[in-house]
Amino acid sequence: MKLPDWSKGHEERLCRPSLSFLTLLSFLYGAGVGFRIAVFKGKSKRSLPGFVVSIGNLTVGGTGKTPATCMLAEWALGEGYNVAVLSRGYRGSHRSGVLVLSDGNDINAGPDKAGDEPFLLARRLRGASVIVAKDRYQAGLIASKNFGADFFILDDGFQHLALKRDLDILLLDAARPFGNGRLLPRGPLREPACNLKRADLVILTRAGQSRPRDDAHDMIEETLKGEKVFKSDHVPEKVAFPFRNTVHEPGFLEGKRVVSFAGIARPETFRKTLMDLGAEIVFFRNFGDHHRFIPREIRELKDMKEQTGADCLITTEKDWVRLESVFPDYDDLGYLTIRFSILSGQETFFSMVRKKAGEKIGLKS
């Protein structure tokens, strides 16, 4: 059964009778969120033995938490910190206890068990442990005891209120930071937009491609002041063809006729990225976020590439980690990787993180 495309409704601001039921559900959801936040305000939070930074968002999907986590972890490793990424393992089959996905060298589970995002982080972050658990406190204790971790990154941690953090980084999409401004399921907000005041720093993502509406921008600036608001973009990094064992610069795609597909929260951004690189997209198919591919879909994609005479079949790196174990050898399949880049104030941003970490555990040489 094909699930409805909620993302379209999440952009619609008008109230229509057909959406009244969703509006009611949003009201009930909001009441539950408010109660949960109030409960945690009255509780003492558990602390890990090190510096804890959260990277999260206010909306569902598509703000770039995974590449942002990569960026921060790579920086911290370069500073000499012992980094552990703590993830809940969304959409993975791991349900209870703590899964040591990576000790910084060896990866101990696949994306089906750990979730595609933690698996991708483990692949990219050599030297950092990646731990999957619903209880991020227990995950952090194991990372500290077994691997000496002192710099903990909570992946998708803004709503994880049980654990004390030293720095809260909130990601907002530059073009639509709050969607239509409504809570789930009528809108994309996981909690009210005013709660961005809990953040220490805000990063507007994909800011090189667009800017927020004036009212949203004003709200962000007034709440956090300009020195705590940064802009970033997702920058194409390389095009890899795993079955050819070759890697190219992003400019490789210029003038190429491409069949492409994506199973991410905002597939249209991937399509636009390919077009901006000069690729001619002869066919594009979008799947649901975290889609699990089946053999029939793979055959159809390969057939479409052959029928159109396209030069290659291109997907995202996040999709590739789910495909790797099921896609038969096919030399013309490639994936695009991206890096998270702060456009302005990068030195200021990292200085703020360095200062906070130094206050907690001391500066590394």
Question: 363 pLDDT band (50/70/90 cuts)?
Answer: confident
Instruction: List pLDDT tens digits, range 280-328.
Output: 999 999 999 999 999 999 999 999 999 999 999 999 999 999 998 888 8
**What is the SS3 assignment for 321?**
helix
Q: Does the domain spanning 51-233+341-361 belong to CATH 3.40.50.300?
A: yes
One fold for 51-233+341-361 and 236-338 = yes
pTM, entire model = 0.94
Residue 210 has a pLDDT of 67
Instruction: List pLDDT tens digits, range 57-77.
Output: 999 988 999 999 999 999 999
Q: Which residues pair with 336 in a beta bridge?
A: 239, 316
Q: Which residues contact 4 (CB under 8 A, 6 or more apart)?
A: none
Instruction: List pLDDT tens digits, range 159-200.
Output: 999 999 999 999 999 988 999 999 999 999 999 999 999 999
Distance from C-alpha of 62 to C-alpha of 175, rounded to nearest angstrom? 12
Query: 116 vs 110, 180, 318, CA distance in Å?
Result: 8, 28, 7
Is the per-residue pLDDT at 4 higher than 50?
Answer: no
* Domain spans, the chain: 51-233+341-361, 236-338
Among residues 202, 138, 193, the alpha carbon closest in space to that of 168 is found at 202
Pair type for strands 99-102 and 129-132: antiparallel
Is the per-residue pLDDT at 212 higher than 80?
Answer: no
Sole residue written with tokens 């598509």:
62
Residue 2 has a pLDDT of 39
Secondary structure, 3-state, 137-181? HHHHHHHHHHHCCCEEEEECCCCCCCECCCEEEEEEECCCCCCCC
Is the per-residue pLDDT at 263 higher than 70?
Answer: yes
Instruction: List pLDDT tens digits, range 321-351.
Output: 999 888 889 999 999 999 999 998 999 999 9
Token pair for 94: 């791991």
Measured from the Cβ of residue 305, the count of other Cβ atoms closer than 10 Å reads: 23
**DSSP sequence for 29-90:** HHHHHHHHHHHHHTSPPB--SSEEEEEEESBSS-S-HHHHHHHHHHHHHHTT--EEEEE--T
Q: Which residues contact 209 (CB under 8 A, 6 or more apart)?
A: 174, 175, 233, 272
Question: 354 pLDDT band (50/70/90 cuts)?
Answer: very high
Average pLDDT, the chain: 92
Residue 6 has a pLDDT of 47
Token pair for 334: 């490639």
Top-confidence residue, 210 or 25? 25
The CB-based long-range contact list for 327-335 (8 Å cut-off, 24+ gap) reads 327/293, 327/298, 328/298, 329/243, 330/243, 330/302, 331/241, 331/243, 331/244, 332/241, 332/305, 333/241, 333/242, 333/243, 334/239, 334/240, 334/241, 334/242, 335/239, 335/240, 335/242
Distance from C-alpha of 143 to C-alpha of 147, rounded to nearest angstrom? 5
Is the per-residue pLDDT at 225 higher than 80?
Answer: no
Most confident of 18-27, 138-147, 206-215, 317-326: 138-147
Q: Does the domain spanning 236-338 belong to CATH 3.40.50?
A: yes
* Amino acid at position 359, single letter: E
Cis-peptide, bond into residue 185, ω within 30° of zero: yes
Residue 208 has a pLDDT of 84
Is the per-residue pLDDT at 252 higher than 70?
Answer: yes
Instruction: List pLDDT tens digits, range 28-56.
Output: 999 999 999 999 988 889 999 999 999 99
Residue 17 has a pLDDT of 59
Distance from C-alpha of 278 to C-alpha of 253, rounded to nearest angstrom? 6
Among residues 236, 244, 286, the alpha carbon closest in space to that of 261 is found at 286
Distance from C-alpha of 262 to C-alpha of 288, rounded to nearest angstrom? 8
**DSSP sequence for 186-224:** TSSBSS-GGGGGG-SEEEEETTTT----HHHHHHHHHHH
Residue 320 has a pLDDT of 96
First to last CA, the chain: 55
Is the per-residue pLDDT at 1 higher than 50?
Answer: no
Q: Which residues contact 339 (CB under 8 A, 6 or more apart)?
A: 67, 70, 71, 234, 235, 237
Q: What angle do CA 6, 234, 325 make, to 5 degrees?
A: 70
Backbone angles phi, psi at 131, to 5 degrees: -120, 135
